[in-house]
Amino acid sequence: MTQMDTKLAQVGLSTDPNTGAVSPPIYHSATFANKGYGLTNDYYYSRVKNPTRTQLEDTIAELEGGAYGFAFASGMAATSAIMQLFVPGDHLIVSEDLYGGTHRLFTQILSRYEITTTFVDTADINKVKESIMPNTKGILIETPSNPMLRVTSLQEISDFCKKHNIISIVDNTFMTPYLQRPLNFGIDIVYHSGTKYIGGHNDVICGLVVVEREDIAEKLTFIQNTTGAVLGPQDCWLVLRGLKTLALRMDRQQENAQKLAESLLNHVAVSNVYYPGVAEKVVQKLQLSQSTGFGAMLSFELKNFNLVKSLIEGFELVTFAQSLGGTETMITHPVLETHADIPEEARLRLGITNGLLRVSVGCENPDDIIKDFKAQLDRASNTTLKPV
């Protein structure tokens, strides 16, 4: 069986039957000439289907181990399309610790259409079981979660959903198919903000969805065509190009993340570090039972939240930005940016405090990353590393 890193390195290779081009062509065409009156072409209008988008959709489906792939204009467009599988009166169980934009979709948009949501700690299957209602139709999880990096058992969620005829949905943005493939555990729908690790260079906005079930695929095909939030051919090509180096980037980034997490654990200005690679053994074991690594996202909490502004503004190497998954190391303040729409009471209950910072660890030399963090933590707090 061909290994994942080999598949990634050869994404799009010589797939053009007309020329054998090593890089797949970009079809910048809104429409396609008919072959004749009454004859149906495979491609006739790019909102419905475009050859470059087909290349990406087929690729992500293969990488995730699914049968059908869909490329959308953004990660939130992909999430919104999935949510259109549900109807007024439906209830969903959702990870309480997840991207703020997804939380906003449920609480401020879907609620208008009488689709209700219960946010729970999906890492605790008993809490999931306690939240089920007669009208529960779906469960959506992030694992590891954003920004607290909590790990939910894919197998437990999958088994529970199958038992109750519930659609299971996993946001796999943090892990990518290189590290984690939820469909292998029986999950129904996996989706990504392809903007992040899959694109990998902070130069494209993209959402991707993969399913195995034909009935769900038929509905998503209709939704994608009808609502029209499709990814353009140029952006599809950029994502295909990014996929080629996904294995190389993820290997380096998660190696760097492990080193940075261990370094932050030793700084007296830091009270907590959230990263599966330094979590308790039971969490590490669960993570490695359903993935091949710990990923490259981590969060840490300062003992004194008043240091946040000074710390962020002092970095020389690290970029203060809201996104993640690029080659460069970036830091964000969730309460100010990514999770600002979540009510303060809920944030604090989840551990998303004013002193919490989220880091997307990049591909730089790990010594340089650690040096910048140490220098800025020392400067901001006038402290030094504890003896090791």
Q: Is residue 142 part of a domain?
A: yes
Q: pLDDT by residue (tens digit) across 160-174? A: 999 999 999 999 999
Residue 340, pLDDT > 90, answer no
The helix (run of H) or strand (run of E) holding residue 137 is strand 136-142
Residue 92's CB is within 10 A of a number of other CB atoms, namely 24
Residue 317's CATH number: 3.90.1150.10
Q: Are residues 160 and 266 in the same domain?
A: no
Query: What is the residue-wise DSSP string for 200-256?
Result: -SS----EEEEE--HHHHHHHHHHHHHH--BPPHHHHHHHHHHHTTHHHHHHHHHHH
Residues 299 and 175 in one domain: no
Q: What percent of the chain has pLDDT over 70?
A: 98
pLDDT at 388: 38
| Same domain as 229, residue 271 | no
Same domain, 19 and 144: yes
Is 226 domain-assigned?
yes
- Tell me: do 165 and 51 sit in the same domain: yes
In a domain, 330, yes or no: yes
69: β partners = 210
Whether the ω angle into residue 233 lies within 30 degrees of 0, i.e. cis, is no
149 and 286 housed in the same domain: no
Q: Could you confirm whether 113 is annotated as catalytic?
A: no
H/E segment holding residue 378: helix 366-381
Q: Which of 27, 99, 191, 197 is catalytic?
A: 99
44-53: list long-range contacts, CB under 8 Å, 24+ apart: 46/230, 46/233, 47/225, 47/228, 47/230, 48/225, 50/230, 50/233, 50/236, 51/25, 51/27, 51/233, 52/24, 52/25, 52/26, 52/27, 52/233, 52/236, 52/237, 52/240, 53/230, 53/231, 53/233, 53/236
Domain assignment present for 386:
no
Query: 316 falls in which pLDDT band (50, 70, 90)?
Result: very high
Q: pLDDT digit string (tens) for 257-284?
A: 999 999 999 999 999 999 999 999 999 9
As a whole number, the mean pLDDT across the chain is: 94
Known catalytic residue at 171: yes
In the chain, % helix, strand, coil (3-state, to 5) comes to 40, 15, 45
Tell me if 71 is assigned to some domain.
yes
Q: With a cut of 80, say whether residue 355 has pLDDT above it.
A: yes
Question: Does 387 map to a domain?
Answer: no
Q: Same domain for 225 and 213?
A: yes
Please count the other Cβ atoms lying within 10 Å of the Cβ belonging to residue 220: 24
Q: Token pair 């700084």 is at which residue?
A: 267
Q: Are residues 280 and 230 part of one domain?
A: no
Question: 243, 259, 285 — which closes off a domain?
Answer: 243
149 belongs to a structural domain: yes
Catalytic annotation on 112? no
Amino acid 381: pLDDT:
83
Pair (237, 261) in one structural domain:
no
Rounded mean pLDDT of 201-217?
98
> Does the pLDDT value for residue 54 go beyond 90?
yes
CA 84 and chain centroid, separation: 19
> Could you say which of 181, 196, 241, 358 is catalytic?
196
Residues 154, 131, single domain; the answer is yes
Choosing from 47, 219, 244, 303, the catalytic residue is 47
Average pLDDT over residues 79-106: 96
**Last residue of some domain: 194, 213, 243?**
243
Compute the average pLDDT of residues 116-132: 97
| pLDDT at residue 386, rounded to an integer | 43
Tell me: pLDDT of 339 over 90: no
What is the extent of the structural domain holding 204? 4-243
How many domains is the chain partitioned into structurally?
Answer: 2
- The yes-or-no verdict on residue 351 having pLDDT over 90 is no
pLDDT over 80 at 373, yes or no:
yes
Instruction: Select from 216, 243, 270 the last residue of a domain.
Output: 243
Are 202 and 196 in contact by the 8 Å Cβ rule? The answer is no
Candidates 90, 97, 171, 235; catalytic one: 171
Check residues 158 and 345 and name the one with the higher pLDDT: 158
Q: What is residue 43's predicted lDDT score, i.e. its pLDDT?
A: 93
| CATH assignment at residue 18 | 3.40.640.10
Query: DSSP class of residue 327?
Result: S
| Same domain flag for 183 and 259 | no
Q: Is 349 a catalytic residue?
A: no
Q: Are residues 311 and 207 in the same domain?
A: no
In the chain, what percentage of residues exceed pLDDT 90? 86
45 in a structural domain: yes
Q: What is the pTM of this model?
A: 0.95
